[in-house]
Structure 1
Amino acid sequence: MLLSVVQLSQASPASPALSPFALVMKTSAARAFAFAALATPSLALQLKPSTGGQQYVDNKFIVELESGSSLSSRSADTDIHARFLADLERRLPSNAYKVQQTYSSDIFNGATVGINNVNDLKKIAAASGVKSVHPVRILEAPQVVTHSTAGVDKVHAAGNKGQGIKIGIIDTGVDYTHPALGGGFGPGFKVAGGYDFVGDNYNAAGSPAVPDPDPLDQCAGHGTHVAGIIGANPANEYNVTGVAYKASLRAYRVFGCTGGTEDSIVMAALLRAYSDGNDVINLSLGGINGWTSDPLSVVASRIAAKGRVVAVAAGNEGEFGAFYGSTPAAGKDVIAVASVDNIGLGPLFTITTTIPGVGPIPYRWGTDFKPIDGANVKLPVYATSRDSSITDDACNPLPANTPNLAGYATLVRRGSCAFETKALNVAAAGGKYVIVYNNDGEFITPDFGSYQYGVLIRDSDGLVLLDAFLKGTSFTVSFPNTGTVSIANSQTGGLASSFSSVGPSFDMYFKPAIAAPGGGILSTWPTTKGSYAILDGTSMATPHLAGISALILKAKGRGVAKNMRTILQTTSALIPQTLANNSLPQSLAKSGSGLANAFAAFSYRTTVSPGELLLNDTAHWVKQHTIKIVNTSKKKRTYTLKHVPAGTMMPFQSGSIQPVPGPVPLVNAPARVKLSSTRVTIAAGKSVSVKVTINPPAGVEAARVPIISGHIQVATAGETLRVSYLGAAQDLRKIQVTDNTPDVLGVATPVVADPTGNVQTGPRDYTFVNGDNPTVYFRDVFGSARIAFDLVKEDFQLPQQPKKRAGNTADEDWLVGAVGAMKPAHKSIQPGTYAKVPILGHIAEFRYFRRHNNGNDLYSGFGVANVYANGTAIAPGRYRLLGRFLKVGGEPTIQAWYESWISPVIGVVAP
């Protein structure tokens, strides 16, 4: 039996919640992150909970049970669930636990169990048929096109609109009363089925789920937007046309109107969507993790391996740099979808001005698709700053000499803080109408929160207004709202969206896999909230890709589902880093193979495989590969092959262990590629294989962990296909995991902090009464598959460990298992059994841990109690904590592949 659990000692109520993981809806909201205010006197850091807020549900666990096929023939005929439940009844009193969800599927067999006392976990783990146990995680709630971009219009023109294909949407539910979404629910309607797993009032933070069969959502909106991208009927007032608008939709609601949900509920929705026979499953949600082995990623991947297309948002954390992927997008067989910005902006309402020669100025406003109420106003403009390079314009209360802004439209530079913050500061000075002019970059959807009179205009238009203001020109602006305009996105159209997350996974899988339009997408919105909205996010790119998949299934048959990722990757279009003529191609760690091209996937009569060449890191480099080219046309064809390198990404700062925030720089340092043939002729219906040898580039700064990527291009008349590759030109075992510098927090980590938040620098006694207990804080700059904290003697010294396998121990094969889970921690607490290091007992453990960022997830922490993780009391005495962090790619049984930390002396004393 395998156990994958974060083992926590009983922390005081004031201790921060552990935050090794989180899942969120993948809509990008324009926002400013709150940086923790950390005082940094010498070794007197006042530590407070990180603002990341990514949590487990207290004392609730997903239990995977053995399936009949994996047991003996006698056991295979037994009801596994009944045996498990009967054994639980023998082990625990009925009031000590509650089975809250059951799963019975060829994909996943198990249950979600809540317990009152975490020390009872070992009894659950030991129950009959238990295969693995995982903590339930909270999934955070969402913050709230032109089809020519991806060739969808040409597929529609051929008569293919996805007829007969079933698409499941796991999201916030759908407002199926929307006319463009069919106006009803059930057989015969566009939204033909589904299920509400939670109800309106559900919130993972406290309000219980109240399931019902009706997935109607008229309060959140995210799922309605996703549904419109996939299936909105054309001929509506804004001509929003779904990618596969004749497909049949099913909605699975996993979020209430507000707040978060649990991954156990999303898992139930995945299994339901699978059993309902959906051909395509869309998950516009995810969480920071970057590993392929969490339960949700594994279940999604298993479903994909069964021949269903599973499209998952890659994430909206591009600002935090590389190796910052999401799950369940990390699933090995799912399609992780990145976002590109739309080539058009609109429909947009406009501002008119009396400045001579200046035409209407288009603006974007909040999520709800309605203009601000200002049709009859004519106001002069007041700029809160005369400096267009300012980064904190109106981020703080305006100066005392600011005039009463009631009679102005106030012009503010976008800068770095939240739109709502700016608007409220203007309102505090008497203002009402706020015109924010953008930074030099993509024209995003602003988030003014509850403020109703804020708009965003382009950088160039804002500079025109600022120039006129500075010159003292007499002019006014108004908001006529008499019609809409659409304009070309000349700055970022067709480029990877800045918010789109950057991979690859820590275990060097190709994430994201592909890109689709996700920046500036107009789609349906609840009828109670305005009916239409423009949103940005990989949440919007994912249904676009799901819809394209439906079109291909309609054209080629359901049998191609297992090959869908390869079909779409090899027919995708190159994405440049910039719009400059000499731009490097974007790194595939940012954009995946390229922009999905529905018409190419639909019409090409050549296939190439595989879609991805996984090179790994230099310690595990795979340089030899074979590409198979199949001519499916009815005539002989000649193909030319060549290497098309992408820019090499440099994820880490030179001379530093700190990751580079986005956008991550690219350099022109291509891999060295050799092809066995550069020209082949293939008869109709035949195939040819070409060998490819790929070596890392020479002369790159390995310490910056260069991510090399690119394509092997295969072209014939009218068709250009590409096989993508990706790898790291560095041994990932050499990458520092823990942040042992003062660069971000002002102190090296890990640290022990006393109840006041001061870093402990010498011996200290704790009574463990009334909050008098220590807290451990740590910050990681790279991922780790295992982080363990153990109690050791006061005079402990870490023994030298050989870099060779040391024979079996009770803790040795923890990475083995159907979901990459680990053996029960309570079996590895025996002194000296873990890599022969003499520990006294186990305190806490994290599995498949993300890296922290420099914004909303600075560090993690956990409170230490006077008991071991298995509930056994720690005897009074003086001890230290031993923290060990497994390096990526390191052998988990070898101590030398761990970074180790030893704490100051911690005294356990009687109160």
Structure 2
Amino acid sequence: MKPDRLSVSFFSAFFLVLLSSCHSDGLPDHHKVETSSYRTNVIQGRYIVELTHQDSVSPFVDLLTATFADNVKVGQRFTHSDFNGVSFSLSSPYSHHDNVLHSIFDHANVVSVYPSTRMNAPTLASMETPTESSISKAISDVMSPHHLTQVDRVHQELKHTGKGILIGIIDSGVDYYHPALGGGFGKGFKVRYGYDLVGDAYNLTSDDPVIKPGPTPLDNCGPETGSVGHGTHVAGIIAGKSDNFTGVAPDATLAVWRIFGCGGGVADEIIIEALLKAEETGCDIINLSVGGPGGWSESAAAVVASRIARKGIHVIVAAGNEGENGSFTIGSPATGEDVVSVASFDNTNTLAPHFKASGTKDPIGKYRHTERSNMGMVDSKAFPSYHLAFLSSSKKAHTYTSSELIIGDYNIGILGSGCAVPASVKGKYGLVQEGSCSLRTKAANLAEAGALGLVIYNEDNEDPYTPSVSNASIPILGVSRKVGQALKARLDDDKPVVLTFLGQLPIPLTTAKKVSSFSSVGATFDLDLRPHIGAIGGRVYSTLPRKLGSWGIMSGTSMASPYMAGSVALYLNSLENKKQVNAKMVREQFQNYAYRAPIENGVKDLDSPLRQGAGLIQVYDTIFQAVHISPGYISFNDTSSNNYKTHTLSITNHGDDFVSYQVVNDASLSVVPYNLQIEGYAYAEPINYTTTAAKLRLSRKIIRLGPKKTAQVTVTVIPPKVDPKQHIMYGGFIRFKSSNAKASQDLSVPYIGVVGRQKDLPMFDIDTPFIMNASHASIAYDQDDTFVLHRNDNASTINLVFRLLTGTRLLRYELVEVTTDEVIGQVLPEMTYQYRNTLDSTVQLYSLPLDGTYAPPMEQEASSPGSENSDPSIPIPHGRYKIRVKALHLFGDPNKQGDFEIWESGIIKVVD
């Protein structure tokens, strides 16, 4: 065996299917167990093998064919300086080939082995298509976020527009016929390079996905396919250009590789192929607004992306939209070591339809978007008198017909409002109050009665009502209690109220320039800081395919990432030679001058770097300022080791003026990752905050630097004195306060750390793992029960069910003989770099089926590569056994038994 190669020996793939139903008594109250099915992002029986050199690819393929014959299907072959290898899949379950695969993976030319993983189709925090196919320049200017990031100053004062910079986009393709995207493809057009790697029909959710590459990356998917035009929106953010719209780098050249069909996900070997082609094409920047469950930097796509970045190509990756699921939710490949991981900040405005309610006075209060996670509060004060702003609860566009508003329930104002609908609501809008009758029921009842829509207000809360039903057949308009009662009072006096819908206008967001609530939260499981930095991704107006309306608003880190990519293009425009700086230095420069956002606008408490990285990019300062600090961030790790308590910052003055700074600690709010009031270590989803802060011991508190000089500051952390069992994630910014703003702006370096020992965190949630009879899913067996496994009865098969509280580098599934306590083999293949479960209904539990066979240790297995017997798994003999599940603790050593959390099942009696 080759030493120090965890990725080779232990990588595997296996379906992790969510428990179809579960014995509820075996789970704590805070687990919301659903009955839907789920597969992890690991693809069963599919692998990516990295090889030492190009010449080893074909011989390795021959070895695979000789060993597995018709059971193997070879996929991509990679012969590139950054990655030589091959992807392949096996038609029968991995466990049937466990040891043979181990022997192949120990081949002299094998460098590493990765499980092939699935990246789902790009997901958005929200999407809206305006009712108009275009907007006026006045509204477009209000919707533009460029004033938040200084991009407007770069365009106007420096005249940088991205000209001469080639930006690669790896996404769902692009409608390059869109006028704002150049109107064509190839030489002389904005979208000059690219390829369709998969074709319209490609869908990884099918058993045998069809790959039909095409010569251009055209996204021609219509609305009937469910496609949202993700790649076209991304392209517009980067380089869109029309009379009424300007992207970040409007004169940049684009190269697009289409990796998604009209529906479904993509295997990461396709992403690798696109990354390598982007490098070969000569891209200066590569944008990846894609990702999957992460937390670790060792996925194949993340590794390749990092290698490309180390060559000086700027690889920009969306951090993910899992912020509502708490800490450690950064996606892969944003976890890559040398990429730029981008968080999302909210725009200043959004477009909203609005209406005039006859007989009402000026707008009262504020009006909230339909889903808090998509957009915070919206302020109606900018609207004309008698106008009220709203947004539909549906992500699909509704037609708003002006009509009369009437009382929508006989019992309005009491519990159950919306359940007794008057027939007179037909053809009108029904006014209802929040009550015990669910919003879904209210909407369904009113729709059945023929209502055009529903206006709902809060029962006892002055905040606007937040509708949460996204698939209602009629529009749902949420207003505040005060507005609702004013409308009701007028109707009670038999005074007519007519709603007149007046199109769309921008409305201000009270969350402008703050981290978007959906943006994923760091750190990595190795406690490396992610995200690195933030850009505008909440409520971004950009291009859509012409079939989907040409223009639209999307929210997601998928929008923040291309905004960052375009900003890097503007920075490269400022250099005499765009290759004179490495990608890491550019990332640090953006981090040095980022805007550090508060937790709420109008307060002083800074949001954590675990949410915002260094903060929101400020492109003009990044270009114009001559002082640079490296590294761009610090991780003090956890408090179990002294190795990370002290770091050194180097500050260099590349300018011609003397500069001086006061060095201070601007602590942010700390993240409380767990809710310990619930039994066990339940994640706070979303995160909670505390004002607990670390102190810093600085070797120098005043820095004076002459031109072309460098100084160093040593930083030692004094963690906050809190209960280490809470694992508080502290953070803040080391700020260099300039004494002369004309000579230099302030700079800052974010830092993070954890109070406690991450190695002490439990790996499994309470009351898991457990085993179940796959045919009687309502029965769970605990450690005191005996399960009788009938080898000849398919109805007595076992499901192993567990919930990971903490991500782990290694999971082992051992078969133990009860009498001797001897490990006789593995009932499932070992799994590596596993993501934690969340309270999301699709990923709450893992359920792994066991087929009654096991793989003995390799020394007991006679088969070898190329032999006829390539199936080493054998039936479990008669006897009494236990299943032992071992999860490696964070920062654990896989060679130390004590570094695993171990669970053993009750007795499993194997009979015929």
TM bucket, shorter chain:
0.7 to 0.9
CA separation of 1:859/1:510 partners in 2, compared to 1, >3 Å: closer, same or farther? Answer: same
Instruction: Please state if 1:136 is matched with 2:90.
Output: no
Give the structure-1-normalised TM-score. Answer: 0.83
Work out the CA distance in 2 between the residues paired with 1:688 and 1:592.
24
Q: Which of residues 350, 362, 371 in structure 1 aligns to 2:354?
A: 350
Work out the CA distance in 1 between the residues paired with 2:339 and 2:462.
35
Work out the CA distance in 2 between the residues paired with 1:54 and 1:844.
15
Match of 2:809 in 1: 785
CA separation of 1:180/1:363 partners in 2, compared to 1, >3 Å: closer, same or farther? Answer: farther
1:522-541 mapped onto 2 (5 Å cutoff): 522-541=541-560
Q: Specify the SS of the correspondent of 1:85.
A: helix
Which amino acid in 1 is paired with 2:66? R
Work out the CA distance in 1 between the residues paired with 2:32 and 2:756.
36
Asked if the contact 2:403/2:428 (under 8 Å) is kept, the reply is no
CA separation of 1:624/1:418 partners in 2, compared to 1, >3 Å: closer, same or farther? Answer: farther
Work out the CA distance in 2 between the residues paired with 1:679 and 1:160.
35
Q: Specify the SS of the correspondent of 2:350.
A: strand
Q: Specify the SS of the correspondent of 1:288.
A: coil
Asked if the contact 1:783/1:850 (under 8 Å) is kept, the reply is yes
Asked if the contact 2:770/2:800 (under 8 Å) is kept, the reply is yes
Which amino acid in 2 is paired with 1:105? H
| CA RMSD of superposed structures (Å) | 3.2
Match of 2:828 in 1: 843
CA separation of 1:424/1:282 partners in 2, compared to 1, >3 Å: closer, same or farther? Answer: farther
Asked if the contact 2:238/2:563 (under 8 Å) is kept, the reply is yes
Q: Specify the SS of the correspondent of 2:664.
A: strand
Work out the CA distance in 2 between the residues paired with 1:785 and 1:840.
20
Offset from partner CA, 1:277-317 (integer Å, 9 cap, x none): 11111111111221111212111111111111111111111
1:856-871 mapped onto 2 (5 Å cutoff): 856=841, 857-869=843-855, 870-871=872-873
Asked if the contact 1:571/1:596 (under 8 Å) is kept, the reply is yes
Deviation at residue 386 of structure 1 after TM alignment: 5.4
CA separation of 1:418/1:793 partners in 2, compared to 1, >3 Å: closer, same or farther? Answer: farther
Which amino acid in 1 is paired with 2:612? S
Deviation at residue 115 of structure 1 after TM alignment: 2.0
Match of 1:603 in 2: 624
Which amino acid in 1 is paired with 2:840? G
Work out the CA distance in 1 between the residues paired with 2:436 and 2:309.
40
* Identity across the alignment (%): 32
Q: Which of residues 311, 314, 337 in structure 2 aligns to 1:306?
A: 311
Deviation at residue 412 of structure 1 after TM alignment: 6.7
Match of 1:876 in 2: 878
Work out the CA distance in 1 between the residues paired with 2:83 and 2:257.
18
Asked if the contact 2:316/2:342 (under 8 Å) is kept, the reply is yes
Work out the CA distance in 1 between the residues paired with 2:267 and 2:439.
30
Work out the CA distance in 2 between the residues paired with 1:322 and 1:231.
33
Match of 1:160 in 2: 160
Work out the CA distance in 2 between the residues paired with 1:555 and 1:435.
52
Instruction: Please state if 1:257 is matched with 2:280.
Output: no
Q: Specify the SS of the correspondent of 1:252.
A: strand
Offset from partner CA, 1:541-599 (integer Å, 9 cap, x none): 11111111111112132332331221111110111011233x31001111111111111
Asked if the contact 2:21/2:35 (under 8 Å) is kept, the reply is no
Instruction: Please state if 1:340 is matched with 2:345.
Output: yes
Work out the CA distance in 1 between the residues paired with 2:65 and 2:320.
42
Which amino acid in 1 is paired with 2:388? I
Asked if the contact 2:411/2:420 (under 8 Å) is kept, the reply is no
Q: Specify the SS of the correspondent of 1:324.
A: coil
Q: Which of residues 558, 579, 602 in structure 2 aligns to 1:558?
A: 579
Which amino acid in 2 is paired with 1:195? Y
Match of 2:888 in 1: 886
Structure 1 residue runs without a partner (length 5+): 10-16, 21-34, 69-78, 741-746, 798-830, 832-837
Instruction: Please state if 1:361 is matched with 2:388.
Output: yes
Deviation at residue 385 of structure 1 after TM alignment: 8.8
Q: Specify the SS of the correspondent of 1:251.
A: strand
Q: Specify the SS of the correspondent of 2:261.
A: coil
Which amino acid in 2 is paired with 1:793? E
CA separation of 1:210/1:54 partners in 2, compared to 1, >3 Å: closer, same or farther? Answer: same
Which amino acid in 2 is paired with 1:276? T
Q: Specify the SS of the correspondent of 2:292.
A: strand
Give the structure-2-normalised TM-score. Answer: 0.83
Work out the CA distance in 2 between the residues paired with 1:385 and 1:198.
56
Offset from partner CA, 1:386-428 (integer Å, 9 cap, x none): 579x9xx99xxx6355656423324578999999887556423
Asked if the contact 2:10/2:810 (under 8 Å) is kept, the reply is no
CA separation of 1:477/1:771 partners in 2, compared to 1, >3 Å: closer, same or farther? Answer: farther
Which amino acid in 2 is paired with 1:775? N
Deviation at residue 137 of structure 1 after TM alignment: 2.0
Deviation at residue 366 of structure 1 after TM alignment: 7.7
Offset from partner CA, 1:224-267 (integer Å, 9 cap, x none): 111111111041xxx33211111111111111111222122112
CA separation of 1:198/1:873 partners in 2, compared to 1, >3 Å: closer, same or farther? Answer: same
Number of aligned residue pairs: give it.
815
Which amino acid in 1 is paired with 2:851? A
Q: Which of residues 92, 98, 106 in structure 1 aligns to 2:81?
A: 106
Which amino acid in 2 is paired with 1:454? P
Asked if the contact 2:412/2:432 (under 8 Å) is kept, the reply is no
Which amino acid in 2 is paired with 1:588? P
Match of 1:808 in 2: none
Deviation at residue 534 of structure 1 after TM alignment: 0.9
1:26-45 mapped onto 2 (5 Å cutoff): 40-41=24-25
Q: Which of residues 84, 91, 106 in structure 2 aligns to 1:116?
A: 91
Offset from partner CA, 1:81-132 (integer Å, 9 cap, x none): 1221232343332x23221211121221111112223334635535562233
CA separation of 1:858/1:841 partners in 2, compared to 1, >3 Å: closer, same or farther? Answer: closer
CA separation of 1:795/1:240 partners in 2, compared to 1, >3 Å: closer, same or farther? Answer: farther
Which amino acid in 2 is paired with 1:732? Q
Match of 2:241 in 1: 233
Q: Specify the SS of the correspondent of 2:203.
A: coil
CA separation of 1:697/1:414 partners in 2, compared to 1, >3 Å: closer, same or farther? Answer: farther
CA separation of 1:43/1:515 partners in 2, compared to 1, >3 Å: closer, same or farther? Answer: closer
Work out the CA distance in 2 between the residues paired with 1:215 and 1:416.
50
Higher mean Cα deviation, 433-442 or 195-204?
A: 433-442
1:451-530 mapped onto 2 (5 Å cutoff): 453-454=474-475, 459-460=479-480, 463-469=482-488, 472=492, 474-481=495-502, 483-490=503-510, 492-530=511-549
Offset from partner CA, 1:670-729 (integer Å, 9 cap, x none): 21112122222211121211221112112x122111111111111322201101111111
CA separation of 1:500/1:46 partners in 2, compared to 1, >3 Å: closer, same or farther? Answer: closer
Deviation at residue 613 of structure 1 after TM alignment: 1.1
CA separation of 1:66/1:444 partners in 2, compared to 1, >3 Å: closer, same or farther? Answer: farther
Work out the CA distance in 1 between the residues paired with 2:396 and 2:168.
26
Which amino acid in 2 is paired with 1:176? Y
Deviation at residue 874 of structure 1 after TM alignment: 2.1
Asked if the contact 2:202/2:260 (under 8 Å) is kept, the reply is yes
Match of 1:823 in 2: none
Which amino acid in 1 is paired with 2:56? I
Instruction: Please state if 1:773 is matched with 2:797.
Output: yes
Instruction: Please state if 1:210 is matched with 2:212.
Output: yes
Which amino acid in 1 is paired with 2:674? F
Which amino acid in 2 is paired with 1:81? V
Match of 1:643 in 2: 665
Match of 1:408 in 2: 428
Q: Specify the SS of the correspondent of 2:796.
A: coil
Work out the CA distance in 1 between the residues paired with 2:254 and 2:435.
41
Match of 2:57 in 1: 81
Work out the CA distance in 2 between the residues paired with 1:625 and 1:385.
66
Work out the CA distance in 2 between the residues paired with 1:280 and 1:611.
20
1:387-398 mapped onto 2 (5 Å cutoff): none
CA separation of 1:445/1:156 partners in 2, compared to 1, >3 Å: closer, same or farther? Answer: farther
Work out the CA distance in 1 between the residues paired with 2:431 and 2:695.
51
Higher mean Cα deviation, 143-152 or 590-599?
A: 143-152
Deviation at residue 486 of structure 1 after TM alignment: 1.6
Deviation at residue 470 of structure 1 after TM alignment: 5.6
Instruction: Please state if 1:125 is matched with 2:105.
Output: yes
Structure 2 residue runs without a partner (length 5+): 125-143, 222-226, 363-385, 856-871
Offset from partner CA, 1:848-892 (integer Å, 9 cap, x none): 111111222111010111222452332222211001111111222
Work out the CA distance in 2 between the residues paired with 1:309 and 1:203.
29
CA separation of 1:269/1:440 partners in 2, compared to 1, >3 Å: closer, same or farther? Answer: farther
Match of 1:590 in 2: 611
Work out the CA distance in 2 between the residues paired with 1:901 and 1:558.
53
CA separation of 1:610/1:692 partners in 2, compared to 1, >3 Å: closer, same or farther? Answer: same
1:10-89 mapped onto 2 (5 Å cutoff): 17-18=15-16, 40-41=24-25, 51-67=37-53, 79-89=55-65
